[in-house]
Amino acid sequence: MSETTIAPAPTEVVVPTRRWSGQNVPRKEDKRLTQGEGVFVDDVKRHGMGYVHFVRSPYAHAHIVSIDLSKAEAVKGVYGTLTGEEVAALTDPFFQLATDPGAKLKDYALAVGRVRYVGEPVVAVVAETRELARDASELVEIEYEPLGAVVDARTAQDAGTEVLHEDAGTNLMWEGVYEWGDLDAAFAEADRVVKIKELHFHRFNSTPLECDGALVEYNRGTGQWTIHTNNQFPGFAVIMMGPAMRCGLDKLRFVTQDIGGGFGNKITSHPQLVACCLLARKLNRPVQWTEWRTDFHLSMSHGNERWFHDTEVAVKSDGTLLGFRTKALDDAGAWLRYEPLGGVIWAQVTPGMYRWRNIRLEFTQVATNKAPVSPNRGYSRMQHL
């Protein structure tokens, strides 16, 4: 066996840690959390704040023909609304992490002209109470013209399949090849080759006990927003939001305290945060958004569905795995948001997790009419490792 094809066995290094190991280390946050004195996002209140409720798409794929807000806005206690048309006028699309064709997507905080997954926010309604906001939302009348839905990533690129994003012109969002080590040598050295036609990992949704949320204030004097939120990656949210909102990052001040579980789902709430920012400015009052559990399950950042096709694994008779080649296919859902990092990072961490040293990954990611995905319980879809 050549020494270059297999990583050496990890050397165990034992550092004396008597001061800490085997000891019960008290957590400084336990006292307040056990006494009901935590500060989670829904606990934050401001005088005169309005509650935000999102009207969501009941269709997987449809044109928005018309939106009638008159009945909702006539309800006593409703402070105002926000539509995709307003968002498109007031903001620029979020920049994309993907290269072309995914880079061409025009992703906004609310659906503009078209909905692409069940649960996609179309209109935001703000009212005096959360109950009123929800009731008034049901009075928003939206006429849709349904389109064919793309639900299987494996056929998303077939001729005649509905294309989600006309700007991209294809349902292919991103593709990339990752090579590591010397695969030819690994297969030459193998005693046998294991071939697997298809491996399938279904879409899933990690479920923190606390849903997403924010309380957003706008200061007219300084033009700065203060965003109390349980978004678990404000550094990412702010670089997405600033350019879209045409403001400097210093105008977006994030405050995060206790978070009731994140699991990755709470990385990609930046579209909702933008909607809240626009509403706080438009209505000149703090706005509060706490996602309902049903909304969370419908649409907040699922774990992506992935296939591995035509996988070949070079193995030794003693069970040593020398390397593999595979074609990975990701169902990214309707928008890329944090993607294609699910594929990119997976490709980077695969050799780190195990002693694999010879790898060829051909990654493809496509758009489908499902909720966008994000990391879910582990960086880059650990379930697939």
Partner 1 sequence: MADLSPSRAITVTVNGVEYEREVEARKLLIHFIRDDLDLTGSHIGCDTGNCGACSVIVDGRLVKSCMQLAVQADGATIETVEGLSEDGALTELQQAFSDHHALQCGYCTPGMLMSATALLRERPSPTEDEIRKALQGNICRCTGYWNIFEAVKAAGGSA
Q: How many residues bind partner 1 (CB under 8 A)?
A: 42
Residue 257 as a binder of partner 1 (CB under 8 A): the answer is no
Helices (H), 138-292: 183-189, 234-245, 270-283
Among 36, 160, 319, 352, binds partner 1 (CB under 8 A): 36
Of 38 and 351, nearer to partner 1 (C-beta) is: 38
**Amino acid letter for position 288:** Q
Question: Residue 16 contacts by C-beta under 8 Å, 6 or more apart in sequence?
Answer: none
Residue 30 as a binder of partner 1 (CB under 8 A): the answer is yes
The span from the CA of 261 to the CA of 245, in Å, is 28
Of 49 and 115, nearer to partner 1 (C-beta) is: 49
The span from the CA of 106 to the CA of 56, in Å, is 19
Residue 305 as a binder of partner 1 (CB under 8 A): the answer is no
Residue 332 near residue 365 (C-beta atoms within 8 A): yes
Of 96 and 272, nearer to partner 1 (C-beta) is: 272
Among 163, 259, 283, 345, binds partner 1 (CB under 8 A): 259
Residue 95 as a binder of partner 1 (CB under 8 A): the answer is no
| Stretch binding partner 1 (CB under 8 A), from 25-33, 81-89, 173-181, 321-329 | 25-33
Q: Least separation, in Å, of the C-beta of 18 and partner 1?
A: 20
Q: Could you give the 3-state DSSP secondary structure of residue 378?
A: coil
Count the alpha carbons within 13 Å of 263 in the hemisphere toward its beta carbon.
Answer: 20
Residue 26 as a binder of partner 1 (CB under 8 A): the answer is yes
Interface mask toward partner 1 for 185-224; x: CB under 8 A? ----------------------xxxxx-------------
Residue 292 as a binder of partner 1 (CB under 8 A): the answer is yes
Residue 68 as a binder of partner 1 (CB under 8 A): the answer is no
| Stretch binding partner 1 (CB under 8 A), from 21-29, 117-125, 233-241, 349-357 | 21-29
The span from the CA of 332 to the CA of 262, in Å, is 20
Residue 125 near residue 73 (C-beta atoms within 8 A): no
Among 18, 19, 76, 220, binds partner 1 (CB under 8 A): 76
The span from the CA of 82 to the CA of 382, in Å, is 37
Q: Least separation, in Å, of the C-beta of 300 and partner 1?
A: 14
DSSP bridge partners of 314: 193, 323
Among 1, 7, 65, 74, binds partner 1 (CB under 8 A): 74
The DSSP-derived string for 14-26 is ----TTTTT----
Tokens 């957003």 sit on residue: 216
